[in-house]
Amino acid sequence: MTTRKLAVAALSLGVAATLAACGAAGSSHVVQGTVPPASTPTTAPVTSSTTAPQGTATTAPSGSQPSGSPSPTSADTLSTTTLNQVAAELGTLDTNLSTADDDLNNPQGDS
């Protein structure tokens, strides 16, 4: 493996490890949106995987409250998995924001 590939692999592993540590894989909608999302969720790319070296570690986001246990991830699918997880988080965020948006656009009555 070339050093350049190693660098890419390390980056991919770091991204995946961080998300896994945060329990980001289990996204789901908090509240079902009643209107279409404010924008189309970012589409995760389909890319080739890289092989990650062992021993690369990252830390969980500070100040966050992970809601789920990290799940083991195959080194062969780290890249796609990682960005898919980010995309899923952003998609959920869009849905939740759309729900809040709808609250303000269509207040039910005066109370």
Partner 1 sequence: MTRTFMTRLAVGVLAAGAVAGTVAAVPGVAVAASSAPAAGSTVTTTASATTATTAPASNPLCTPAGFAAAQQVVEAALAGRVSALDALSTAADNPANHLTAADRQTLQTSITTVELPGIQALQPQAQQATTCRALRLVARAMVVNFRVYIVMTPQTHLTVVADDETYVEGVFVNLEPTISQAIASAQAQGKDVTAAQNAFTDLKSQVAGAQSLTAGQAATVLAQTPSGAPGNWQAFLGARTNLVNARNDLHAAYRDAQQIRTDLQ
Q: Which residues bind partner 1 (CB under 8 A)?
A: 2-4, 6-8, 10-12, 14-15, 18-19, 22, 24, 26-31, 35-39, 42, 45, 47-48, 50, 56, 58-65, 67-68, 79, 83, 86-87, 89-90, 92-94, 96-111
Q: How far apart are CA 4 and CA 45, in angstroms?
A: 21
Q: Minimal CA–CA distance to 82: which of 53, 55, 39, 50? A: 50
Q: With both helix axes pointing from N to C terminus, report the angle between 78-105 and 3-22 in degrees, rounded to the nearest 10.
A: 40
- Least Å distance, CB 72 to partner 1, is 19
The residue (of 28 and 72) whose beta carbon lies closer to partner 1 is 28
- Least Å distance, CB 42 to partner 1, is 5
How far the first Cα of the chain sits from its last, in Å, is 64
Q: Is 23 left (phi over 0), alpha (psi -120 to 50) or beta?
A: left
Q: How far apart are CA 2 and CA 79, in angstroms?
A: 18
